[in-house]
Every structure is written in C-alpha cells, then in structure tokens.
Amino acid sequence: MTSVGQRHARCFVVGCKNQHRSLYRTPASEVLRAEWIKFIYDGKVPATVNKHLYVCAHHFEPFYFHNLGQYKVGLSRKLFIKEQAVPTLRGEAPGDVKQVITSVLSLNPAQSALLDMPRDVACQTDPPKRCNVGTQLSLKTLRSHVRSRATQARVPHTEIGVGTTSEPLTASQRPSKRPRFEMEEGEVEEEEEEEEEEEEEEDESSLSMDKEEALDATYDPADSVTSSESESDTSMEESVPVHKTPTYIVYESCLLELFETCPVCKRPSDVQPRTIGTFLSVEQKCQHCQYTRKWNSQPMLENTPAGNLQLSAAMYATGASFLNVEKIFRAMQLKMFQYDTFRRHAQAYIEPAIVHKWKTVQDQMLEQLTQESSVVLRGAMRVDLIGYSDKVGSYAMMDMNSNTIVDLQLVQSNEVGGGDNMEKEGLKRSLHLLEACGVSLDSVVTDCDSQVQEFLSEANVTHYCDVRHMEKRLSKELEKVSQDGDCDELKNWLPAIKKHIYWTALTSTSGPERVAKWTSILNHVQDIHTHKSPHFPQCAHTPHTSGDQSEWLTAGTPALCSLEKVLTGEKVLKDVERLSVHNHISLQEVFHKVSLHFVPKDVIFPFVGMLCRFYLAETNIQGK
C-alpha cells in the first residue's frame, strides 16, 4: 500500500467530502484489494474498476496507523498504515471529536475506552519539597487484581501535571491518585515512603519492559497476548524454509474454535474466514474491546499463498496429473484451486525454474564433453500426440561413456512437414548444439532410419545402428512369419535368434565379420556348423552330441525359406554391417520408461509443459 500526496490523487470513497492529506493506494493482495473496492463503492462495485484507487486516512480505524505519535507532535507530515489495514469508517466525524482526533488516534481501542471514564486531574501550584506522583501499570497486563502504586519523589523545582482529557482542569492542594485498573471507586491508600522505595527497587527490573512499551506511541496491548507465539513463529520461519515446513490436514470447525473467544477480554468474537484454494485467512474482531487480528494459514510469497504454489510444484515434480489430484481433494472435501491457477503457477514459477535447472546441469555435462577427445552419442525418438492430430517427438541424445542424457529436443510434426521427418530434425538440432559447444564426435548410434543414415553420411559422421532397435524390428517380423502353419517350427528358434544378434554385435570388429557371423545362423539351424566365409569359418560353440534331428530345420522347407528371406534382406545386411559395438543396456531405455510416468501418452499437455516434464524425468533418473 503506497502513500501518495494529495496533489497527485483523490479519495475514491463514495460520499467522502473532507479528504485527508494522507492517501493510500489499494493493496496488491487480491483478498485485501477486494475488501477495499467493496468499501470504496459501498458494496455496489461496477463492472469496470479503475486500476489505481485511493482511500484517505479518514476511513481507517486508529490502530491501523504506524506513526500516529510522530504525526501528533508534528514530526511526520503523513500517516502510514499497516499492511493488513482495511477501511471501515464512512462519513464525517463530529466537530468536537475533530479537536481531539490526534490524541485518540495515538491510542489503541482498549486505551481509548479507558479515557472515556471520568477522572480527576490536578495541577500543583505550590513548590513543595516532596510530592506524591501516581504511576499506573502498563496496559499490557490486562489482568485482574492489578492496582496502582504510589511512589515518593524529591524534586527541587515546581512539578506540573498535564492531562490528555477534554474535561476542564481543576486545582487542588495535592495531586490525587488515579483509580484502580478495575475501575473501583475510591482512592488507593498511601503506603510508607521506605516501603515504597524498597518495593520499587525490587520490581524495577520486572517492570522495565512494561514501561518501555507504555512509552511507545504505537504500542498495542493486544499485541502482548500473542507476543510469545509470534516470537516462536518468527524463529521457526527463519530456521526452516517454507517448502520444508511440516503441514497438516485441519478441519475447519476445529480451527475456528481457536478464534471464537477474544484473547483480551475473553468474550465471544466475530470470525470471518476467507479461502483462496488451499489458503485460509481468518479475521477476528471483538465488538466489546475492538480487538482485531488477522491470521493466515500459509505464508505469502509475493501475494501468492505458499501452499498453493507448493502443491502445484509437487504435482509437477512427481509427474502427477492435476485432474487426478483434484479428484482426491474433492473426495476428501479438501479446498483446491482451479486448473487455471495451476497453469499460472507453472508458467510464472515452476516451468522457468525447471528450464533453469536443466540448462545449468546441461552446461556442466557439455563442459565435461568438450574435455574428451572422442565422444560416442546415442539418439532415440519417442512420438506422442498433442491434441487430436498434431504429433510431437521427443529426441533424447545420450553420452555412451557416462551413460547420461546430454540433450533433449521436442519437435512438432507441423514444423518439419510431417511425422516422418521429426527424428531427423531432432538429431540435427542436437548435433548443432554439440558442435556449437565444441564437442568432438567420434560416432553416433541411432536406429536404422534411412533419413538419419543419409543425413549422417552427408555430415561425415560415423554411424552405427542400435542393436536393440534392430532386434525388436526383426523379432516382430519373425513372430508374424511363425504364425503361419507351415512355419510353426520357427517359434522354438526365436529366443536363440534374438541372442545371436547381440552376440554378433559384441564379438565382431569389422563389418564383413558381422555379416558372416549373422548369416551363420542359417547353417546353424540346419545342424551345419562350418561355413564358407573366411571371416567366420566355424561356429564358436562346442559340438552337439544330441542325435535328435527333429529340433533342426530342413533345407527347402517353408520355415527355412521364410527365415532366410527375413535375415538376409538387402537392408538387413547393410544394417548388420553397421551394428553398434557399444554397451546396449543404456539409461536411454530407462529414460523412456520413466518419461511415460511424467508424460503419459493418453494425456494432452501444452508444448512447454511437456518439455519441462521430460526435463524432470531425466533429472529424476540422474538424482539431480
């Protein structure tokens, strides 16, 4: 809430004719701003409201001001209000009240009530050698059985007493004592001078704090009720971060019981709760002693409830769906914000933080790669749907030596001319990034896509085919062929053929050797273990001693012909020649499985939201 000069603005309160020089702009908090606007327009809020509205000091309760003491004595030209101040006063104050408005404003409501009580004020005209001076205990105590104490003081000069009351002053022979705090009639008996001096010395230390608080012009006795709680809460906030503070599920009826009774006068109070998602604000006001306080269930982070933001971040960080979490909250009758609020939190706070974290980790990994002489990368594409027709592909590039994902690219089909071009575009973007960072590439391992092979050949990059992708492709073809009744014998050989392709890639050192070992499986299934190729003339296993010929395939049968057609196709042999010799059990397969949790294929996400969820999947795997 900003205080502005009168020449720059005016009070917008309906019916305000005598404007105060101190004006205050509506607060940024949505809850307080709504209360201010409702008061300004007297409950009739128009459809469109001015962005900058101001309210003058005449419309605020006295206890909302910070510097009333300074303003009263002329040390401050403007009044400053507290952050939680809400205008409640409407209309013009009577003339007789205006004369003493400064004195009344300098006290809180409990003290103002005491000033309304009749009392005697005296002024000493003769200079006595000794006089009794009445002092009252601090109003902070507000407890029963409190009495005033008289003390004897020696003064070498004239003592003058001044009272802050609208009643005319009357002279007497000696100052009369003030009545007891319980407002009992009669004066307090005088005690002996020696006894009073001894008691004063004993209680000096215990009353020192009360005296200092009583001298403060902005001192509010109601604040002392929760002073110990405030100190403990402050120390807790300083030691424990907001996101690590323990939280609980509290029922509304149990919580509001704490505000039903005024902590000052112990009488029933008016309680008004307000909610913003998971955030609860309770405003308590006592109609008897005018004690007020406002309690928030959560700390505020730049006008945003911390619990709301923390819940949005938790859903994002764990890969949970907002719709599923909302169903749980509804089932438990827990207060929950809308999906628009979740998206606003994501765009303003969560997604920028995720991108910043990923870029920081990625820069560190790329810095390490630039120090290596040769880097082997492995790329793979996953295709998803966003909307009803658009496809998006996530291309992950992994360093085979450190087994870490160093780059993630998200490619939409409509920006590359179709879904068939997404993998090539994702690979191209990743290689451009690595080249710009100064990474020296030794080779790249991808699937056997023809566009990818052509692009890497033009870029003069050594390309290897990923064994796992090829094994999956051939296994699907062989399983389809084995469904035919004439090729039913192939089902028994499928596990051995899958292992053979991995053995071929791991034990070969050249392309011709890989092809020779791969084609040797056609002789092996016929119980022939010597081959014509000089690169692999004989099977590496021990000789078989079984005489059962039924487990072997026979030459010229449909099963063997179909197997030979699948395993010796022109494209298959070219891909076998470029099989990767590197580790085939990589983190990339784990990444794709984990990403299914963060980015399920049956859920539609915004483009940036999907990219950030892929970033989270990778950081969760690496434990970063």
What would the pLDDT profile of 388-425 be if each residue is shown by its tens digit? 456 888 899 999 888 888 999 999 888 888 888 899 99
pLDDT at position 67: 83
Q: What is the pLDDT of residues 280-301, one digit of tens each?
A: 999 999 999 999 999 999 999 8
What share of the chain in percent tops pLDDT 70? 72
pLDDT at position 366: 93
Q: How confident is the model at residue 271 (pLDDT cuts 50, 70, 90)?
A: very high
| CA angle 135–136–141, rounded 5-degree value | 150
Helix/strand/coil percentages in the chain, nearest 5: 45, 15, 40
Q: Work out the average pLDDT over 548-573.
A: 86
Q: How confident is the model at residue 249 (pLDDT cuts 50, 70, 90)?
A: very high
pTM score, whole prediction: 0.57
Q: What is the pLDDT of residues 33-84, one digit of tens each?
A: 888 888 988 888 888 888 888 889 889 888 888 888 778 777 777 888 888 8
DSSP 222-241: GGGGGHHHHHHHHHHHHHS-
Q: What is the pLDDT of residues 424-454, one digit of tens each?
A: 999 999 999 999 999 988 899 988 888 898 9
pLDDT at position 492: 87
Q: What is the pLDDT of residues 152-171, one digit of tens each?
A: 444 444 444 444 444 444 44
Sign of the four-CA dihedral 562, 564, 569, 572: positive
Beta strand ranges found along 400-513 (DSSP E): 404-412, 441-446, 463-465
Domains of the chain: 3-106 (no CATH), 118-215 (no CATH), 228-337 (no CATH), 352-466+584-622 (3.30.420), 468-577 (no CATH)
Q: Are the C-beta atoms of residues 514 and 576 closer than 8 Å to each other? A: yes
pLDDT at position 583: 62
pLDDT at position 276: 93
Q: What is the pLDDT of residues 574-620, one digit of tens each?
A: 999 999 877 655 676 788 888 888 888 778 888 899 999 999 988 88
**CB-CB neighbours of 493 under 10 Å:** 20
Q: Work out the average pLDDT over 183-203.
A: 40
pLDDT at position 267: 92
Question: Among 84-98, 127-141, 330-344, 486-500, where is mean pLDDT lowest?
Answer: 127-141
**Pairwise CA distance, residues 54 & 8, whole Å:** 10
